[in-house]
A and B are shown apart, each in its own frame.
Chain A
Amino acid sequence: MEAVVSVHGLRKRYGQVDAVAGIDLEIERGEIFAFLGPNGAGKTTTVEILEGFRSRTAGEVSVLGVDPAKADGAWRDRVGAVLQESNAEPGLTVRESLQLYSGYYREPRDIDETIELVGLREKAETLAPQLSGGQRRRLDVALALIGDPELIFLDEPTTGFDPSARRTAWHVIEGLRQLGKTVFLTTHYMDEAEELADRIAVIAGGRIVAEGTPGTLGGRNSMASTIRFTLPQGTGSDELPPELRALVAGEDGRVTLTTQTPLVHVGALAEWALARGIDLPDLDVRRPTLEDVYLELTEKPA
């Protein structure tokens, strides 16, 4: 596979601080790549270097085979971006905004088709500043798409959205996959990355602390699950069978067991409870969520 984005040892120093402290990234064509990290971790700095807005202190960067620091119009023809904060074009309707941007490119996409793609057909003649937050973001996506780019940067595309607007935005981003676009997505929402991304990298303190698929990131697939339940009055956790007693990780009214083999231990627990005629109405089995993994990764001192 061909690498669309290739970064080696990227470093950006502001004064005495390394905002980006030597990172490597490799993104292949057609991939949706999610770049996760807390605020101030170096996400936006990295993206702005890849978009050609910022210079770098050190490292090698190639985006679509070109160093973005030397990017020209021909390169920008192939790249689109939805920026973290960008207001609507003042005084222009949805269609006019797209007409303006489409004029910047040599071979733009069809305007009506693009409006349709982001679901703004009913709003095509509405002044862009009058759109709702979610609609405006979809217009941003349309503006990023109008040049028919190969690679699209989406910088926190759903920050501040209500849940239904986020679902719609996700649907639009899923649509980019069908178009065969490569997507570089930055976000601090775990569910967003889990829903959309083929691959995730987590940045904290300017370094990549983990990289993987949503299912395997940070060893998530091999991390322990938790089983929780409340024992009835008069029954202590010391009465559990020894194999379960050995797994007790916490007890604060509710017993918490951690296990690599949840099915086996839930079975044992059920057998024991049924034999004693005990009910465990709040029994709960949980795999570590991506959020658990992420918090563990980003809270570690860098």
Chain B
Amino acid sequence: MTTAAARGPVALVLHQARFDLRGFLRNRQARFFTLALPLLFMVIFNGVFGDKVVGPGPMKASAYYVPGIAALGVIAASLVNLVISITAQREGGILKRRRVTPVPAWVLVGGRALTAIGVSLVVVAGLLAFGRVVYGVKLPTSALPGIAFTAIVGSLTFCVLAYALSTVIENEDAAQPTVMAIMLPLYFISGIFIPNINLPTWLGHVASVFPVEHLASGFRHSYVPGAHGVGIVWSDIGVLLIWAAIGVAVALRRFSWLPKAATG
């Protein structure tokens, strides 16, 4: 049998992604935070506010929440899941052990990112379908490629940011609280939990610096009838890519395969 390494880099990335995905699916905590929690948020926010009307649009709040929570789903599958597992694997010596083998670093990162993108697409599709069936929030079929594209760019951005963020986290116990401490305020000011038109202007400006709002707004625009031909908002994609570039720069400078808790 020819091995993945012998079949070339693409086969090797797929090989890595296959096992990463299997590991992810067998991890109950990861499954909960990635698959169940976004759905829970979807049900709670739509249950409480779904029938209200928001915005200058104006639009039904559920039409606002469904794409927003879909953005949260992408972030859960990419950033949250990855920061926790990268930190645990680094501190547990798993990354180091893999680096002893001939597998190139970019294959390990690529396989992981591919898994996150795949999971993100499934999560987004599930959440949007749930929003369609349960809350009647319709998405024009012409916007589907745009949504998928935005989800892929968003997932990639938050994967890269996960590698960058993991470099400042000392150990696996700190990973979850650190991610939550960063993401919860962003969810609140970026129009995920509260419609951002209710925010004071300055807070809106703060939010627009960060990528969360742009992923949510990218998704949301696809729902707006008649607007944006293919459902891709290039300014939002642009901000996401800038953050991805920052993430790459930080990760290249700071990322380590060795545990931070050094041994004798």
B96 close to chain A: CB less than 8 A: yes
How distant is B35 from chain A, measured CB to nearest CB, in Å? 15
Distance A29 CA – B144 CA, assembled complex (angstroms): 61
User: What is the bound-complex CA distance between A79 and B259, given in angstroms?
Assistant: 21
- Write out the residue numbers on chain B whose beta carbons fall within 8 Å of the beta carbon of A41: 264
Q: Does chain A have a CB within 8 A of B52?
A: no
For B258, the closest partner residue in chain A by CB is: A53
Of B22, B85, B104, B264, the contact of A44 (CB 8 Å cutoff): B264
A86 neighbours in B (Cβ, 8 Å)? 92-94, 96-97
* B59 interface residue per 8 A CB criterion: no
A102 surroundings in chain B (CB, below 8 A): 3
CA distance A76 to B26 in the complex (A): 30
Task: Fill in one digit per residue for A57-88: 1 if any B CB lies within 8 Å of its CB, else 0.
Answer: 00000000000000001101101110111110
- 0/1 per residue, B93-106, Cβ < 8 Å to A? 11011111111100
Least CB distance from B90 to A in Å reads 11
Closest to A87 in B: B92
- Is there an interface contact between B259 and A85, defined as CB atoms closer than 8 Å? yes
Q: Tell me whether B263 and A44 are in contact (CB under 8 A).
A: yes
In the complex formed, the residue of A with least CB distance to B3 is: A103
Asked if A192 is at the interface (CB within 8 A of a chain B CB), the reply is no
Interface bin, chain A: 35 or more
**Are B15 and A103 in touch, CB under 8 angstroms?**
yes
Q: Is the CB–CB distance between A105 and B101 below 8 Å?
A: yes
Per-position contact with A for B69-105: 1 when CB-CB < 8 Å, else 0? 0000000000000000100110011101111111110
- State the majority secondary structure of interface residues on B: helix
CB distance from B30 to the nearest CB of A (A): 9
1/0 per residue, CB under 8 A from B, across A103-136: the answer is 1111110000000000000000001000000000
Contact A147–B101 (Cβ < 8 Å): yes
Asked if B94 contacts A91 (CB within 8 A), the reply is no
Q: Knowing A83-B97, A86-B92, A147-B101 touch, does A91 contact B3 (C-beta < 8 A)?
A: no
Which of A80, A85, A143 has its CB near the most chain B CB atoms (within 10 A)?
A85
**Chain B residues within 8 Å of A147, by CB:** 101-102
Cβ distance B183 to chain A, nearest Cβ, rounded Å: 23
Contacts of A176 in B (CB 8 A): none
Which chain B residues numbered 30 to 86 have a C-beta less than 8 Å away from chain A? 85
Contact between chains at A105 and B259 (CB < 8 Å) = no
Contact A96 B22 (CB under 8 A): yes
- The distance in angstroms between the C-alpha atoms of A197 and B7, with both chains bound, is 39
Complex Cα distance, B92 from A143, in Å, reads 15
Decide yes or no: A73 and B22 within 8 Å by CB, A83-B97, A89-B94 being known contacts: no
8 A Cβ contacts from A240-284 to B: none
Is A76 a contact partner of B96 (Cβ separation < 8 A)? no
Q: Are A81 and B97 in contact (CB under 8 A)?
A: yes
Q: A77-B102, A101-B101 are in contact. Are A91 and B24 (CB under 8 A)?
A: yes
Given contacts A86-B94, A91-B27, contact A79 B3 (CB under 8 A): no
Q: How far is A102 from B15 in the complex, measured between Cα atoms in Å?
A: 10
- B96 x A53 contact (CB < 8 A): yes
| B252 in contact (CB, < 8 A) | no
- Chain B residue with Cβ nearest A147: B101
User: Does residue A23 face the partner (Cβ distance < 8 Å to B)?
Assistant: no
- B100 x A51 contact (CB < 8 A): yes
Residues A106 and B3 in contact, CB atoms below 8 Å apart = yes
Contact in complex: B102, A83 (CB < 8 Å): no
Query: Is the C-beta of B209 less than 8 angstroms from some C-beta in chain A?
Result: no
Residues of chain A contacted by B6 (CB below 8 angstroms): 106
The reply to whether A85 and B102 form a contact with Cβ atoms under 8 Å apart is no
Q: Does B19 contact A (CB under 8 A)?
A: yes
Q: Residue-by-residue, is B1-28 near A (CB-CB < 8 Å gives 1, otherwise 0)? A: 0011110000010011001001111110
Interface pair A81/B100, CB less than 8 Å apart: yes
> CA of A91 to CA of B89 in the docked complex: distance in angstroms?
12
Shortest Cβ distance from residue B181 to the other chain A in the assembled complex, whole angstroms: 24
> Do B23 and A90 touch across chains, with their CB atoms under 8 A apart?
yes
Closest to B264 in A: A39
Interface: A99 (CB within 8 A):
yes
Name B residues whose Cβ lies closer than 8 Å to a Cβ of A. Answer: 3-6, 12, 15-16, 19, 22-27, 85, 88-89, 92-94, 96-104, 257-259, 263-264
Counting from the closest, the 10 A-B pairs by CB-CB distance are A91-B23, A87-B92, A86-B93, A91-B26, A103-B4, A73-B102, A76-B102, A104-B103, A39-B264, A104-B101
6 A-B pairs in the complex with CB atoms less than 8 angstroms apart: A51-B100, A53-B257, A85-B92, A87-B93, A105-B3, A105-B101
